[in-house]
Chain A
Amino acid sequence: MSTLHTVNKSSYDRNTLETCVSLTTKGSEVILIEDGVYSAVKAGNKASLIANAMGDVNFYVLGPDLKARGLNESQLIDGIKVVGYSDFVELSVKNDKVSSWL
């Protein structure tokens, strides 16, 4: 069953992304929203969390949250897609379920 996972906390503060990624099955999708977007920065020392799972999981970052925090696409781990609100809605509908990590 396909799942879209949402992660809204920084991986430098909480372990939600780490646990989320470790419990996803192949083909799952993860969208980083709110403070979750900090985890997508390539130069950060938590970047391997995402980079290592990139082959099995599709990663997205919510653009408006990225912009609000003064970050841009060029700073992100390669392969992460930046999406807007309407894409977020489509991802939610496309997958069988949404799992919101708190």
Chain B
Amino acid sequence: MSEIKKFCYLNRTAPYGTVYAWESLEVVLIGAAFDQDCSLVFVDDGVYQLIKGQDTTDLGIKNFSPTYSALGDYDIKKIYVEKESLEARGLTLDDLQHLVWEDEDEDWAERDSIILVTKDELAKVIDEQDVVLSF
């Protein structure tokens, strides 16, 4: 396997209104399947993607939100959510899904995947990436 790169998936759109959120998730899973170092970032309306209790039955389209809880199994451990975006929309971490990954070094203890960051902290996270894909 060649060198591992740091991939950042920048999510800025709400789910269902456009196809970006779903497409992003598909590309994330591809990156993870190739054992890359994946970080997900949710900013602006992107934070709406992680709200728990989504139900699309009356829309006749797929509710892809349960997929986020599978990300831990793909070794995706870094899901950054921008604090300012959440607050601007009247949301807190409690409104979002509780996403975890299992730490094999600690008897598969569950660890939180979501990392709440300020705009300044997020700028540094994005700066450190090799590749940024925007959705």
Q: List A residues at the B interface (Cβ < 8 Å).
A: 1, 3, 15-16, 19, 22-25, 96-97, 99-102
Contact = CB atoms under 8 A, between A and B. Distances in A.
Contacts of B126: 3, 23, 99
Given A97-B132, A100-B134, A101-B134, A19 B44 contact: yes
A25 B127 contact: yes
A22 B120 CA distance: 8
Contacts of A97: 129-132
A99 B119 contact: no
Nearest to A101: B134
B43 interface: yes
A102 B43 contact: no
12 contacts: A3-B126, A3-B132, A16-B12, A22-B123, A23-B43, A23-B119, A25-B123, A25-B127, A97-B131, A97-B132, A99-B132, A102-B134
A55 B126 CA distance: 20
Given A1-B129, A25-B127, A19 B135 contact: no
SS class, residues of chain B in contact with chain A: mixed
Contact of A23 (B122, B130, B131, B135): B122
Interface string B109-135: 000000000010011101111111011
A16 B13 CA distance: 11
Contacts of A23: 43, 119, 122-123, 126
A22 B134 CA distance: 15
A25 B134 contact: no
A101 B132 CA distance: 10
A72 to B, nearest CB: 30
A3 B129 CA distance: 10
